Amino acid sequence: MSASDVRIGFIGAGNMAEAMAGALISSGKMQSRQLTLCDIREDRLSYLKTQYNVHTSTSAAETFETASTVVLAVKPQGMRALLEELRNKGLHRSVQRKQIITIAAGLPLSFYEGILYEGLDETSAARLPIMRVMPNTPALVLAGMSGLCGNAHTTPSDMDLAEALLSSMGDVLRVTEAQMDGVTAVSGSGPAYFFYFVEAMVKTAEKMGFQSGEANRLALATLNGAAKLLLDSGEEPADLRRKVTSPGGTTEAAINEMKARNVAEGIQEGMLAAARRSRELSELI
Ligand SMILES: NC(=O)C1=CN([C@@H]2O[C@H](COP(=O)(O)OP(=O)(O)OC[C@H]3O[C@@H](n4cnc5c(N)ncnc54)[C@H](O)[C@@H]3O)[C@@H](O)[C@H]2O)C=CC1
Ligand SMILES: O=C(O)[C@@H]1CCC=N1
């Protein structure tokens, strides 16, 4: 299948689907007309149509049927109802081979297989490849990070297709399914940790007397510059930190205070809680 034949249908057109669809278009990987965004919220669809000129639909079944790659992008708690709706309409017995990509946190591939492979022989060609992807919202600005794994019915070319789509939005790491909870805790939720840090820095700068715009400039240019330095220099973060930290100076005073308050431990425990929650989500469905 050539790139121009690919039709991607997103079922669930929320924040993450928008980031991915926006990236596919702005990177030039896909034309707007190759994308359908499906949601139950009409207002959401009219915003997306205006913003990206994509096809929109309120029908999950129609979106599933017409796509060559389906991205399931509803919340984990809504996934069972969606899969059962598709199965009850017989769409899991698809005659057209297509890839199913789910971006839901936590839910294992076996959960999708249990519903979408119901009544289909082990060797049935109708068993569609199912891949799990954990993307993140910086995809929207082509600076995303995605983890990717596939089930036993996924061929190398299915994985290559998924990787090609995801690499237009940023970096992609192929992982085992067992690593997905970790990917979710590091890169899936990771942007929020960073935004939390920015919020704290900006708030503190404001308390020091800077106006909101000034506080934002000071914090954002610094964090952007630090990330760029880290990426471009190839140096270890600890080494770069040492280069800022003069003995007896201001940085040392700040880091000592943060260490005394166990900031690193708070980050570690937060990330472990995210991985735990990812595992728990599979028990809720
Ligand atoms: N937001 C993020 O940073 C990331 C989210 N994810 C995963 O992506 C999925 C979506 O998350 P968000 O986009 O943040 O949520 P969201 O709440 O922004 O979007 C979900 C959308 O699905 C729609 N929806 C619900 N049931 C539907 C149905 N039956 N048919 C069609 N549309 C339906 C809702 O109206 C909503 O617009 C979740 O499973 C989440 O775990 C994964 C990585 C990062
Ligand atoms: O918070 C969540 O559950 C989703 C998955 C990773 C980022 N957002």
**For the chain, which domains are there?**
3-180 (3.40.50.720), 190-283 (1.10.3730.10)
**Protein residue closest via CA to atom 3 of ligand 2:** 105
Give, as one character, the DSSP assignment of residue 92: G
Give, as one character, the DSSP assignment of residue 183: H
Q: Which ligand is nearest to the CA of 78?
A: 1
Q: Which ligand is nearest to the CA of 136?
A: 1
pLDDT interval class at 1 (50, 70, 90): low
pLDDT of residue 62: 97
- Which atom of ligand 1 has the smallest separation from the CA of 19? 13
**Protein residue closest via CA to atom 5 of ligand 2:** 105
Q: Which two tokens stand for residue 161?
A: 């297709």
CB-side neighbour CA atoms (13 Å) of 14 = 12
pLDDT, the chain, mean? 96
pLDDT at 36 over 90: yes
Of the listed ranges 91-100, 147-156, 198-207, the least confidently predicted one is 91-100
Nearest CA-CA partner of 227 in 140, 132, 145: 145
Ligand 1 pocket check: which of 74, 84, 136, 194 to mutate, most ligand atoms within 8 Å of Cβ?
74
pLDDT at 6 over 90: yes
pLDDT at 95 over 80: no
**Protein residue closest via CA to atom 36 of ligand 1:** 14
Q: How far is CA 263 from CA 64, 131, 155, 174, 175, in A?
A: 45, 36, 44, 31, 29
pLDDT of residue 2: 60
Whole-angstrom distance, CA of residue 117 vs CA of residue 126: 8
Ligand 2, CB within 6 Å, residue ranges: 105, 184, 188-189
Q: Is 76 touching ligand 1 by the criterion CB < 6 Å?
A: yes
**Protein residue closest via CA to atom 1 of ligand 2:** 189
**How much is the average pLDDT of 143-153?**
98
- Which atom of ligand 2 has the smallest separation from the CA of 277? 3
pLDDT digits (tens, 9 = 90+) for 157-174: 999 999 999 999 999 999
Nearest CA-CA partner of 29 in 8, 11, 48, 3: 3
Q: Are 17 and 37 in contact (CB under 8 A)?
A: yes
pLDDT interval class at 263 (50, 70, 90): very high
